[in-house]
Amino acid sequence: MTSSDPPLIILGTGYTGRVLFRQAKAEGRIVFAASRVPEKNLTGIPPEQRLRFDLDRAGTWDAIPAQADAVWTFPAVPVDTACAFGEQVAPRLRRLVVLGATSAYDGSPQAVRGEPVDETAPVDRTIARVQGEESLRERYGAIVLRVAGIYGPGRNPLDWIRQGRVGYSHRFVNLIHVEDLAAIILQSLEDGVPGDTYNVSDGTPRRWSEIMDAAATRWGTGKPLPADPTPGKRISNRKLLAELGYTLRYPDLYKAMEELEQPG
Ligand SMILES: NC(=O)c1ccc[n+]([C@@H]2O[C@H](COP(=O)([O-])OP(=O)(O)OC[C@H]3O[C@@H](n4cnc5c(N)ncnc54)[C@H](OP(=O)(O)O)[C@@H]3O)[C@@H](O)[C@H]2O)c1
């Protein structure tokens, strides 16, 4: 990437957006961080790289330059507003990547049967954000990333266990480190097929019980209370690795958690 590449606009600069901003900048891209309240929420970003963007205020959409790449990092709702954005803004973008969630597959036959869930599994269109994502994908060529649980600095699964925010169950969980997610977003802007979907996870669905037993052995966390008895699902990342050719930086949750536990 060089500074002659299209500018990258991050629509919503929260947890993932901030890591994406840093990685894109390090690659030499011209990158803008957007927020509904930039003066309050983007204090760490140089003022000349901040944009005001609010999906609910169409007047702010004009700030997105023509031929830019845009990454949408919040739920694509309300659906009619997401569609209006698709109609008015998507045609002038080079690429649009929309972050969805793997929960879109809950209830799919593959998930219910406990089989690996790949991108051919049907998504639940009764969920408003899924309708928004699918409209942007089918009608306006957005690339949809169906993202597993995001973890990383400040979102440490060990803290979820210590704080009792997850309970002991044999339910499957699928995770992705935020540094991998940001790098995958950048790669999907280059190599993803417009209108296509890619699952984003580290490829190793784990049961919470397995993670908690390992955490108790390695980091001395106590055994939490029982919880959610539903089986969860096993997300496949085969397409991400095979078709985007992505190599995970954090394929091993336990090594990543070891790093998150290091002081500083
Ligand atoms: N957390 C997970 O484990 C997980 C798992 C799967 C998928 N996801 C999805 O992945 C995406 C990224 O997650 P994240 O945790 O990085 O998100 P996040 O920290 O909540 O960041 C998204 C940012 O978008 C902005 N935003 C929200 N609504 C907006 C609107 N209507 N118009 C314009 N900007 C708006 C907000 O910033 P301002 O307030 O500054 O505008 C917010 O900080 C989200 O879509 C999330 O649902 C998350």
Domains in the chain, CATH or no CATH each:
8-148+176-203+234-248 (3.40.50.720)
Using a 6 Å cutoff on CB, does residue 52 contact ligand 1?
Answer: no
Distance 14 CA to ligand 1 centre (A): 6
Q: Whose CA is nearest to atom 38 of ligand 1?
A: 35
Distance 217 CA to ligand 1 centre (A): 34
**pLDDT of res. 205:** 98
Instruction: Please say whether the beta carbons of 187 and 143 come within 8 A.
Output: no
| Separation CA 55–CA 86 (nearest Å) | 11
Instruction: Please say whether the beta carbons of 110 and 121 come within 8 A.
Output: yes
The CA radius of gyration of the chain, in Å to the nearest whole number, is: 19
% of the chain with per-residue pLDDT over 90: 93
**pLDDT of res. 4:** 65
**pLDDT of res. 73:** 98
pLDDT in tens, 31-89: 999 999 999 999 999 999 999 999 999 999 999 999 999 999 999 999 999 999 999 99
- Residues in the chain where the model's pLDDT stays below 50: 1
Q: How far apart are the first and last CA of the chain?
A: 30
Using a 6 Å cutoff on CB, does residue 14 contact ligand 1?
Answer: yes
The closest alpha carbon to 201, from 122, 146, 242, belongs to: 146
Using a 6 Å cutoff on CB, does residue 75 contact ligand 1?
Answer: yes
